[in-house]
Amino acid sequence: MGVALAAILAAVGLAAWVNLACAATAGALGACAMAYDWRLKRIPVIGPLTMGACRGLSLLLGAAARDPASLNHLLILLTALCLSLYIAAITLIAAGETRRRSLRLIRWGPPAAMIALLVAVSLPTGGFLLFVPAYGVEELWVVTCTLMILAAGTSFAAAERLRGVPPVATVQRTIGQLIRNLLLVHAAVAGGMGHGLIAVALLAAWPASAMLARRFYAS
C-alpha cells in the first residue's frame, strides 16, 4: 500500500508539472484505483462503477494534458462517461466468469454504452471533428463513424453470444473481445481529433491483441 501511495503521489507531482487540471485528474484517478484495490472491488455495483471511473478518468487525464479547457467540453465528458459505463458493464460480466450463470440484462451493458458513444462522436456538428481543421473533415468523420460502428457491432455480437447460460470459456473469450474493443474506440477518438498516426497505431494493435489473447488471458 505504501509503495502504491508513493507511486500515485509521484504521478500527481509529474502531472502538476503539466498543469493543475492534469494534477487534479491524476489525483482523482489514483484515489479511485486505490479505493478499488483496498475495499470497493468487493462491493457489488460500487466496485464495477469504480473500475469504470478509472477508465473514464484516464481519458480525462489525457484530455487535460492536451488542453485543460477540453475538460469543459460536453463531448469529452460524455465520452468519458460512456467509457466508464462500458468498463463497469464488462466488470459486472467478469465478476462471475469462473462459473456458469445467466447474465440477463448485464450482457447488454457494453453495446448500450457503445451505441451511446457512437451517437455522441458521429454527429457532424458536435462530434470530435470540432477539434480538427476544416481540411479533410468529411474523410475523418467517415473513418470515425466506421470505427465506432465496428466497435458497437462487435459489442452487440458479444452480447448475443452471452445469451442464456453461456459456457465459462465463452464468457472469458467474450470479455477479452470487449476489452480489445477499446482499441477501436480510442482509434476513432484519435482519428476524430486529427491524430492520424496514433489512430493507425491503435487500429493495428487491434488484430495483434487478438493474436496475443490466444496465449495470454485478457482480463
Among 39-53, 83-97, 125-139, whose mean pLDDT is lowest?
Answer: 125-139
Same domain assignment for residues 114 and 193: yes
pLDDT over threshold 50, residue 177: yes
Does some domain include residue 82? Answer: no
Same domain assignment for residues 142 and 63: no
Q: What is the span of the domain harbouring residue 122?
A: 102-219
Same domain assignment for residues 64 and 115: no
**Angstrom distance (rounded) from CA 213 to CA 219:** 10
pLDDT over threshold 60, residue 206: yes
Give the pLDDT score at 142: 75
Does some domain include residue 80? Answer: no
Same domain assignment for residues 130 and 203: yes
Same domain assignment for residues 27 and 66: yes
Same domain assignment for residues 123 and 184: yes
Q: Please list the alpha-helical segments (H only) found in the chain.
A: 2-18, 20-38, 46-66, 74-94, 109-122, 137-161, 168-192, 196-212
Same domain assignment for residues 64 and 107: no
Backbone angles phi, psi at 67, to 5 degrees: -165, 110
Same domain assignment for residues 161 and 202: yes
* Percent of the chain clearing pLDDT 70 (strictly above): 89
Decide which of 72, 93, 122 is a domain's last residue. Answer: 72
- Among residues 117, 94, 120, the alpha carbon closest in space to that of 175 is found at 94
Instruction: Please state the domain count of the chain.
Output: 2
> How far are the Cα atoms of 34, 117, 118, 122, 153 from residue 2, in angstroms, in the given order?
11, 37, 40, 44, 43
**Positive or negative torsion for Cα 211, 214, 215, 219:** positive
Same domain assignment for residues 207 and 147: yes
**Could you read off the pLDDT of 108-144 as tens digits, one per residue?**
999 999 999 888 776 655 566 555 554 455 666 777 7
For residue 22, how far is the Cα from the chain centroid?
19
**Angstrom distance (rounded) from CA 128 to CA 85:** 20
